[in-house]
Structure 1
Amino acid sequence: MEILLKERQENGKMGNNIVYTYGGGLYINMTNRCTNKCEFCVRQMTDGLGGADSLWLDREPEVSEVIEALKAFRAEDYEEIIFCGYGEPAMRLDDVLEVARYLKEHTDTKVRINTNGLADLIYGKRTAPMLEGVIDRVSISLNEADAEAYDALCHPTFGKESYDAILTYIRDVKQYVEDVAVSVVSCIPKDAVERCGKIAEDLDVKFKVR
């Protein structure tokens, strides 16, 4: 399976690009790999975000390195801890969950994953049950109101079947994580935003435009 990578990844430096701050959150950047190549992706526009000068990794950090990087921060000082960087966190789901378990043992700060919702296609199995008791919040990028539009905007490796997989994942993850949200980017047409909002309503999950 081909996974889309940013060519500039080799310019990244291991350092403040593993754990960084943005707004009131503490973010964990574990990979630059992604199944999508979204037209709007911020990594196409800038190397850094928030407290990180660059989020490009020269290699993926070991779990021990992520935990060591987290020790430089007081988790209690942040609204939540979010797995989100310049790649799809689910590409390293087992490692993400290992870090999340460490966080659960050492802080009461809520832990969230920002994901494109394609983990089931990545691994060929249901992955939502793996999050139970470990992840407090999941934010899923829907970004379009139908499969055709999603394929044209996000260019997923898995093609048009990706959209139905995302909807299935949303329904499934609700059984294991209490706080589930669907998000869309503000650059899509207004009617598409409204249709996505209706999809979120029908699925009984939160909806946000970012």
Structure 2
Amino acid sequence: MDTFVYEIDGKLYINLTNRCSNDCEFCVRNGKDSYYGNKLWLSKEPTAEEVLALIPDFGYSEVVFCGFGEPTFKMKEVSAIGKELKKRGFFVRINTNGQGNLINGRDITEELVAAVDKVNVSLNAGDRDKYYEICRPVFGEDAFDAILDFASLCKDRGIITEFSIVGVLSAADREKCEKIAERLGIHLRIRKYIQDS
């Protein structure tokens, strides 16, 4: 059975798709189909209605769009689910690789304003070359600049915006990421690298 919604540390997570525009060398899904005991590899993608039917009206501090794929591949569902959850009073976050504008061929940040309270953008490298090397985006080296533009647009539209990097980066790469975040006025969070769940 597919896992569309799962819980970790008192937060509810929404798993919309397996699709991703990256093939990151450190990705948690490399070689496995589950995360913290939740089987996240999907045999089919859910509708907004299927997801909303699984979410209780209370009991969670936050609901997060984050699964085995990039949620912005499913912008129609992100928009519908996010708007409804915000109406119900939930704090809604999306964890993204920041390539949503490239994926959808348009600026999606205005839609995100109505659907989420916070955007967490995986930066993961301090320059284009390193990003291309470790994240292997289908959009090539242009993906890195698009990520920075996307994060800036989210911030400018008033969405709480945060960059994150995996803690395995070298000190030099981490410093580059810190400088980018400082230049753009976006908070940077270092997340731990999870190999096993």
User: TM bucket by the smaller chain?
Assistant: over 0.9
Letter in 1 for 2:61: E
- 2:152 is paired with a residue whose SS is helix
Q: Which residue does the alignment assign to 1:35?
A: 21
TM-superposed CA distance for 1:65, in Å, is: 0.8
Structure 1 segment 44-63 matched on structure 2, within 5 A: 44-50=30-36, 52=38, 54-63=39-48
Q: Which residue does the alignment assign to 1:66?
A: 51
Cα separation, partners in 2 of 1:112 and 1:51, compared to 1, 3 Å? farther
Structure 1 residue 115 corresponds to structure 2 residue 96? yes
Q: Which residue does the alignment assign to 1:80?
A: 62
1:20-52 deviation digits (Å, cap 9, x = unpaired): 011231100000100000000001153222362
CA distance in 2, matches of 1:105, 1:181: 23
CA distance in 2, matches of 1:50, 1:177: 33
1:114-166 deviation digits (Å, cap 9, x = unpaired): 00000111122211111123210000001000000000000000000000100
Structure 1 residue 160 corresponds to structure 2 residue 141? yes
Aligned-residue Cα RMSD (Å) equals 1.3
Q: Which residue does the alignment assign to 1:129?
A: 110
Q: Which residue does the alignment assign to 1:151?
A: 132
CA distance in 2, matches of 1:51, 1:99: 24
Q: What is the count of residue pairs matched by the alignment?
A: 191
Letter in 2 for 1:86: F
| Identity score, percent | 39
CA contact (8 A) 1:137 1:177 kept: no
CA contact (8 A) 1:140 1:170 kept: yes
Structure 1 residue 97 corresponds to structure 2 residue 83? no
- 2:80 is paired with a residue whose SS is helix
Structure 1 residue 181 corresponds to structure 2 residue 168? no
Structure 1 residue 21 corresponds to structure 2 residue 3? no
CA distance in 1, matches of 2:32, 2:130: 25
Q: With structure 2 as the length reference, what TM-score do the two structures score?
A: 0.92
CA distance in 1, matches of 2:31, 2:176: 27
Letter in 2 for 1:154: C
CA contact (8 A) 2:80 2:115 kept: no
- 1:102 is paired with a residue whose SS is helix
CA contact (8 A) 2:131 2:144 kept: yes
Letter in 1 for 2:183: D
Q: Which runs of 5+ in 1 are unaligned?
A: 1-12
TM-superposed CA distance for 1:185, in Å, is: 0.7
Q: Which residue does the alignment assign to 1:10?
A: none
CA distance in 1, matches of 2:158, 2:17: 23
CA distance in 2, matches of 1:19, 1:39: 25
- 1:180 is paired with a residue whose SS is strand
Structure 1 residue 139 corresponds to structure 2 residue 139? no
